[in-house]
Every structure is written in structure tokens, then in C-alpha cells.
Amino acid sequence: MVTPIPKSVREIWKEWNIRGIILFSLALQAFLIMVAPFRKRTSNKFFIFLLWMSYLLADWAASFTVGHISSKQNDDSGRDKGCYANNKADDIIQAFWAPFLLLHLGGPDTITAFSLEDNELWLRHLLALVTQVLATAYVFIQTVPGNILWKPTMVMFIGGIIKYVERTRTLYKASLSTFRASLLEKTPNYAEYTSKAFSKDVVQGHLKEIEIVNLAHYYFQIFKGLIVDSILSIEERDESRKFFMSRTATDAYRVMGVELNFIYEVLYTKVQVVHNTVGYVFRFLAFASIFATLVLFYFVDKDDFKAFDVRTTYTLLLGAIFLDAIALFNLIFSDWSVVGMYKYSKIRKSCIVNELKYTIGYRMNEHLWNFIFKELQDKAKDAEDLKMAKRICEAKGSYVLLKGMKDNEEEIKELLPYIDEISYDKSLVLWHIATELCYQNDFISNELDPMKDDKYNNQLYHFSKLLSDYMLYLLVLQPTMMSAVIAGVGQIRFWDMKEEIKESFVHTSEEAKRSKSVLFDACVLAKKLDQFGDKKWEILSSFWVEMLSYAASHCRPDSHAQLVSKGGELITLVWLLMAHLGLDDQYQKEGLVRADLVVRKEGHCYCFF
């Protein structure tokens, strides 16, 4: 009988499959622990795909190998009956490898979940934990009696269980329902904490790195409820507004950058489980078990084992120690450790890891951020009460136009129908085309030459273009971000608009030229904007900031949480800044906040961990 796979290939696979895949599993663990932290700094699709594949393959490789070791021990076909000692030695050392796979299933500290949906599958991981532990125990029992590696196997088994439990517990704590419920249990008096801990320590002027980290952690503890659409108190709003209204755009960016890093690590890494007393104890036990296993294996008589298997075992042991050493380094030099140590002593700047670990991924520059920050600060000055804040949040460009009606009241009124009388997505496309037409017209006519002295209008000219392009990018390429804002019709409108533009170039009849398409309306709008001269760039730049802030405040919170793991976006920073400046409608009095949390907690069952 002819088989599609030659016998020689099948024999090689049968001999080396377990050895090859377990080394492959170790390589995946090393890759993930080293590379995973970079995903919060890049939106490169190939990098994200590569990380996703490694994340999936890591679980598959470990699970497959445990199952294959078990099935191989049960399968006597093809085994050399005359070499029982060799077969027994293979079974013993492969049973010793099984706990290493539990260690791998526990995953590295730097990535426990690839997406928020992975956290919601914590119950599946709990079931997998039970089945994999039982499978590993079964593999070990099959080699008893006569297993000379029973001591190191048992010790390694403890370390593997600890790591797997760590991951499962992390997924549970990062699931949105558990995360929301935890807010009730840990709601401190933030206003009192601020006055005692920060008011006298944080001086005016440029913030030091230690202050950045501690302020970011402090505001993270307050505003992490935004992730699950929780209600915040008026006291928290007032305290946050006071701080961010008095800071520079650079300091605000630095604080929020680290704050978003805290959000990322809570949702996608083991930080919640590791950074506490219990976590430190179990992490020490896990590392001690690996080191003890290495010592025990070193003193075992290994003459019956194949030389390659012995080298493989040392590779697994040293690899596990290396991965734990990296995890320990990350643990000691993390922002969380800086915050913990700062509670007990003043740390000199030289003692910190100074790099701010979060950067947004799309078209960010200092001048643009300064402009956005100033615009939102100006709005925050108007939003003294919640009613006014809500009005500002609901504005889609009309607020800034109405605010600037003093000098050009009639002309401004002509622009309002292009905002108030149409949907958000159509308004976005319409104003994008109008902005592009104005931009290209001024560029061609050389009215805004970069070499001219009018630096202010030159900046607004470029800001308008950047923000206009960015909003179209969100509409077309980030539909999940905009779905709550435009109800899913924005992309359809965009592609319809493209077809209309093609038709307008193909058909030259007067009727086609005068059609009531988005393109025709945009041309009319561009002409109206040209009436303002250079001031149109002041109007357009402020308009696009308002369009961006509307989208930011109306996106689903979990969409923002997803973005922090994919390089981040400008819209997420704007969302967080608006919350800090009180430009949000998620504020109530303190008593009502706690009542809301109690209601949300009803029905939750705390039966796990």
C-alpha cells in the first residue's frame, strides 16, 4: 500500500516530534516575553499578526506536547520490546518534561491576553488548567515505580501549577465584569488622598519622572472605571480639572502616557496578580522550584538517558530560569514598583527606569498636541457645571462656530446647516472634502507659503489637514472605533461618495454637475469658507478638534481599551484628556457613585480566587 508520507519521514517524526515541539514551545515563550511589550508602541500589522500567531501557537504547542507524551506512553506499537530500559528511560524523561509545559501554558508576564475577549474566556482557561494538570499527573503516574526523576518532576510540577494559576487568575481579574465589580471594593477617598500625598510634593513647573509615574498611577486608580463605563464623582472631577488645567500640554501628555500604560498592563499582562504580597510569595516559590529542579536533576544518574534528551532538559531548565530572570527584572524596574517604593521612601531619579513606556501610534507631533490641549482647556474653562460639560460633549463643530460668531455672525450662520442638519458621518466626509479643497487651493495659490512670516496661520493650515485626514482614517480604517458614533453607515457613505465623484467626471451634463451629492455640497462649503480668508484655518482647525473630541467621548470604552494594545491612537489620548478636564457626562455626587457601583455589583458571584 502506497502512503502519501514516506516511512522514513514518519519514523523521524515519531522519534523527534516531542523533542522538537517542546523546544519550539520554549522558543515561543522567549519570543513573547521579549517582544510582547512592543505592541503597545506600534500599530504595524505584520508585527501584530506575528505576535498573534505566536500567542496562539504557544498554547497549542504546550497542549499538544502534553497530550502526545501521554498517548505515546499508551501506544506500545512499534516499540523495541528488546530494549525495555531505553523505552522506560524515554518515558521517564518525557514525563519530566510535562511540568515544563504547564510552565509554558502559564505564559510570560508580558502577555496573558492578546485581546479583551481573551480575558472573558477565563472560565475556559480554568477548565484547561484542571485538565492539563490531570494529564500531566497521569503522564507522571505511568512512569511509577522505577522513575529516578520523581523528585525533580514533583518539584517542577509545583512551579508549573503556580504559573498556570497565575495566568488563569489574571484573565479572571481582567475580565470586564470582575474589573467593574472590583471598583466597589477599592474605592478610596481620593480627594483626601491627593491633599495628603501629592499637593505638597508636586511643585509647579516641569514634573520629574518620579512625579510623573506616581501621578499617573494615582489618576489611573481614579479613572480606570472609565474602561467599564463607570460613574465618577464630582469631587474626582474637580480635583482632576484643577490639576490638568494648571499643567502644560507636555506634562499632561507624559502623565496620561504612563496612565495608559497602567491600563494596558492591567488588561493584558500579569501585573494585577504579581504586584502584591501574595504574588511575590508565589513568584518566589515558582522560581525556587525551577532552581531546585535544576539542582536535583544535576545530581541524578543520567547514564540511561540519551545525550540529546539530557541537553534538551538542561535547555528547558536554563531557559525557564532565564525567562524568570527577565520577569524578575521587569518586576523590579516597573512603574508599579516605583509607585510601591515611593510610598515608603523618596527615591532619587537615578533609581528609576526613566523611559515613558507608552506612545500613540498615528501622526502625533508636539505642536499638534499642544494645539489640541489648548482647545480642550479653553472648553474646560466654559464647562464649570455638568450641564455645560454635557453640551460641549454633544457638540459636533457647532460650539466652536457659535463661540466665534462675534465678528462674522452672518457668515458663520451659513455654515451651521452643514453641521446641525446632517448626520455626523456625512458632516465628517463633507467637511473633509471642503478642507482638502481649501488646503489645495491655498497651496497652489501659494497664499500660505511656509517661508512667510505668518507662522500662526501656517500651523493652523497644517493642523486642519492633519486632523481632517485623521478623522477620515478613523471612519474608513477604524470602523470598530466609530461604530458607536455613526451606527455603521459611515463606510457605506464614503464608498458611495467615491462612486459619485467618478460619475461626476464621467458625465459632463449640467444635471450631473448640479447633483445634490456630497461632493457638490462640499464645493459650496469650501467657497463659503474661503470668504473668511486666512481665518478659515482658525475655524477649520477648531472644528476638527471638536469633531475628534465628539468621536472620542462617544466611542465605546472597550474600543479605547483595545487600542492601547495596538500602538494606541490620538483619539484615546483625547478621550482620557476630556475625562481629566471634566468634559464628560459620567459624573455624579459621591453617594450616587457608590450606589451605582452597588447596583452593578448585584448578581456577581465571587466563587473563584
- Does residue 604 register a pLDDT over 50? no
Q: Which residue has the cell 467599564?
A: 228
Report which DSSP code applies to 122.
Answer: H
What per-residue confidence (pLDDT) applies to 309?
94
Asked if residues 594 and 185 have their Cβ atoms less than 8 Å apart, the reply is no
Query: Torsions phi, psi of 16, nearest 5?
Result: -115, 0
Q: pTM for this structure?
A: 0.85
**Do you find a cis peptide bond into 479, omega within 30 degrees of 0?**
no
Q: What is the pLDDT of residue 115?
A: 93
Length of the chain: 609
The answer, yes or no, to whether residue 210 has pLDDT greater than 50, is yes
565 burial via Cβ count (<10 Å: 0-12, 13-18, 19+): buried
Q: Which three cell numbers stand for residue 464?
A: 486642519
More confident position, 133 or 355: 133
Q: Is the model's pLDDT at 45 over the cut of 50?
A: yes
d(CA 596, CA 609): 25
The pLDDT of residue 331: 86
Q: In the 8-state DSSP scheme, what is residue 385?
A: S
* 17-29 per-position pLDDT tens digit: 899 999 999 999 9
* Chain segment 530-554, per-residue pLDDT in tens: 988 888 999 999 999 999 999 999 8
CA distance 48 to 176: 23
Interval 482-499: pLDDT, tens: 776 765 555 666 666 666
**Radius of gyration of the CA atoms of the chain, in A:** 30
Give the model's confidence band at 361: pLDDT under 50 very low, under 70 low, under 90 confident, else very high: very low
Asked if residue 242 has pLDDT above 80, the reply is yes
> What string of DSSP letters covers 343-377?
TTS---GGGS---------SS--HHHHHHHHHHHH
Give residue 207's pLDDT: 82
Q: What is the pLDDT of residue 350?
A: 33
Which residue has better confidence, 466 or 205? 466
Neighbour-count burial for 96-116, b at 16+ CB within 10 Å, e otherwise: bbbbbbbbbbbbbbbbbbbeb
pLDDT for position 185: 63
Q: What is the model's pLDDT at position 155?
A: 96
- 3-class secondary structure for 233-278? EHHHHHHHHHHHHCCCHHHHHHHHHHHHHHHHHHHHCCHHHHCCHH
- Return the C-alpha cell found at 234: 464630582
Choose the weakest-confidence range: 140-154, 336-350, 576-590.
336-350
Give the residue from 152, 255, 157 showing the smallest Cα distance to 212: 255
85 CA to centre of own chain: 52
- Lowest mean per-residue pLDDT among 93-107, 269-283, 323-337, 507-521: 507-521
Residue of 286, 305, 350 lying closest to 108 (CA atoms) = 286
Higher pLDDT residue, 188 or 207? 207
Quick check: 609 pLDDT over 60?
no
Mean pLDDT of the chain: 82
Span 369-396, mean pLDDT? 90
- Using CA atoms, how far apart are residues 35 and 229, in angstroms rounded to an integer? 31
Name the nearest CA neighbour of 496 among 420, 429, 428, 421: 429
Cell of 496: 458611495
Q: Where are the domains of the chain?
A: 366-555
Lowest mean pLDDT among 67-71, 372-376, 561-565: 67-71
Residue 115's contacts (CB-CB under 8 Å, 6 or more residues apart) are 562, 565
Provide the pLDDT confidence category of residue 48 given band limits of 50, 70 and 90: very high
Give Dmax over CA atoms of the chain in angstroms: 101
**Cell numbers placing 450:** 511656509
Phi, then psi, of 149 in degrees rounded to 5: -105, 20
In 3D, which of 283, 296, 284, 279 has the Cα closest to residue 154? 296
The distance from CA 58 to its chain's CA centroid, rounded to whole angstroms, is 20
At how many degrees (to 10) do helices 424-445 and 490-506 cross? 50
Q: What is the model's pLDDT at position 130?
A: 94
HSE-CB of 310 using CA atoms within 13 angstroms: 11
Q: What percent of the chain has pLDDT over 90?
A: 44
pLDDT beyond 80 at 454: no
**Interval 339-349: pLDDT, tens:** 776 554 443 33
- When pLDDT is averaged across residues 582-590 and rounded to a whole number, the result is 71
pLDDT band with cut points at 50, 70 and 90 for residue 182: confident
Predicted local distance difference test score (pLDDT) of residue 366: 83
User: At a CB cut-off of 8 Å and minimum separation 6, what does 305 contact?
Assistant: 89, 92, 93
